[in-house]
């Protein structure tokens, strides 16, 4: 395999932002490894991308809530002789509802996916990137990272972790030629809102960006070596507000934006995710 091939490994590529990230990376000449749980969706995307671009696309179906999965993924890559140029930690989900009554297992599963798997993958691939002095990591955080989120407490906390980790790794890796970027989308049209049951929350009924636009902005920022990329002007304004306003005010605003009809009992929305 060519030494200078740029392989991008994208988690959560079976829908939404992840699928669009795969399309944009492919259009920019990266070779792809796409992963998620829904194998058929990944196969269909691989076929579509290979029909449009002359690049290899490898499919690996994995459940990243499983503690062994990041190691399994890295071993599969090694077996196939794939050196990771770009890791995209995009897989994630949210849940809306009361912290005290939401099913405990779903809350822990959210931390396992949004935090633990993302951290493990960064830890597994970063040493190779640093050794080679090239490549980088694009972690999908959220504008939720900038403040506490009443009614989505654990989700917002996981994204604050992703942002903090990414910023720290950015500083550690940059002097050695490796980029780490946190992409912070606001409301985006994907399956996320149905899974999290936020379709009727004020935050989403006020309008959402397209996943394609978020992906393009994220990859532009990653390729430019930026630490934090907030997608879209109104989201950048919101992030600035979170910086300037007192925390007590900003968390109340965040909580009010999560209000709206809850259509499913807390946590059930995710059972088919
Ligand atoms: N949409 C928004 O408004 C928004 C805003 C800010 C940030 N984000 C973040 O953007 C990222 C992508 O979400 P999205 O909006 O594109 O939502 P989405 O359409 O629901 O996509 C989520 C992806 O994660 C994968 N995934 C879920 N659970 C998984 C598991 N246990 N193991 C492996 N893969 C799993 C899903 O694939 P399978 O179901 O096939 O496994 C899917 O490909 C998430 O980190 C989310 O928090 C989204």
* Chain position carrying tokens 């903090």: 164
Query: What is the per-residue pLDDT for 3?
Result: 63
- Does a structural domain hold residue 196? yes
User: Is residue 225 in some structural domain?
Assistant: yes
What confidence score (pLDDT) does residue 118 get? 98
State the CATH number of the domain containing residue 54. Answer: 3.40.50.720
Q: Ligand 1 centre and the CA of 15: distance in Å?
A: 7
Buried-exposed string 174-209: b where 16+ CB fall within 10 A, e elsewhere: eeeebbbbbbbbbbbbbebbebbbbbebebbeeebb
Write the pLDDT tens digit of every residue in 126-171. 999 999 999 999 999 999 999 999 999 999 999 999 999 999 999 9
**Ligand 1 site: residues with CB under 6 angstroms?**
11-18, 36-38, 41, 62-65, 90-94, 113, 140, 142, 185, 187-188, 190-192, 195, 273
Domain count across the chain:
1
Q: Phi-psi bin for 162: left (phi > 0), alpha (psi -120 to 50), beta? A: alpha
Domain range for residue 219? 7-270
- Distance CA(14)–CA(43), nearest Å, equals 9
Q: d(Cα 180, Cα 138) in Å, to the nearest integer?
A: 6
Domain membership of residue 2 (yes or no) is: no
pTM of the entire predicted model: 0.95
Q: Would you name the residues annotated as active-site residues?
A: 155
Give the side-chain half-sphere CA count within 13 A for 192.
27
Distance in Å, CA 16 to ligand 1 centroid = 7
Does residue 145 sit within a domain?
yes
Backbone angles phi, psi at 179, to 5 degrees: -100, 135
Specify if 1 maps to a domain: no
Q: What is the mean pLDDT of residues 239-262?
A: 86
For the chain, how many residues are written? Answer: 273
Question: Looking at residues 259-273, what average pLDDT do you find?
Answer: 51
pLDDT digits (tens, 9 = 90+) for 63-114: 999 999 999 999 999 999 999 999 999 999 999 999 999 999 999 999 999 9
């Amino acid at each position: 395999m060519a030494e200078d091939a740029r392989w991008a490994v994208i988690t959560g590529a079976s829908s939404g932002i992840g699928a669009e990230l795969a399309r944009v990376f492919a259009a920019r000449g990266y070779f792809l490894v796409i992963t998620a749980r829904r194998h058929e969706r990944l196969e269909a995307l691989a076929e579509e991308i290979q029909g449009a671009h002359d690049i290899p696309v490898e499919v690996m179906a994995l459940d990243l809530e499983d503690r062994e999965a990041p190691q399994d993924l890295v071993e599969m890559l090694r077996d196939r002789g794939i050196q990771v140029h770009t890791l995209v930690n995009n897989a994630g989900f949210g849940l809306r509802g009361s912290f005290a009554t939401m099913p405990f297992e779903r809350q822990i599963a959210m931390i396992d996916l949004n935090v633990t798997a993302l951290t493990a993958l960064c830890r597994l691939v970063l040493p190779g990137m640093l050794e080679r002095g090239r490549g980088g990591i694009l972690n999908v955080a959220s504008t939720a990272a900038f403040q506490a989120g009443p009614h989505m407490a654990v989700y917002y906390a996981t994204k604050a972790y992703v942002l903090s980790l990414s910023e720290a790794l950015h500083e550690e890796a940059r002097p050695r030629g490796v980029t780490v970027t946190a992409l912070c989308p606001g409301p985006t049209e994907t399956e996320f809102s149905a899974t999290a049951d936020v379709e009727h929350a004020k935050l989403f009924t006020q309008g959402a960006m397209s996943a394609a636009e978020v992906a393009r902005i994220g990859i532009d920022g990653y390729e430019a070596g930026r630490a934090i990329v907030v997608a879209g002007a109104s989201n950048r304004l919101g992030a600035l507000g979170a910086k300037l306003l007192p925390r007590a005010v900003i968390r109340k605003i965040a909580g009010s934006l999560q209000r709206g009809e809850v259509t499913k009992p807390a946590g059930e929305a995710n059972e088919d995710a």
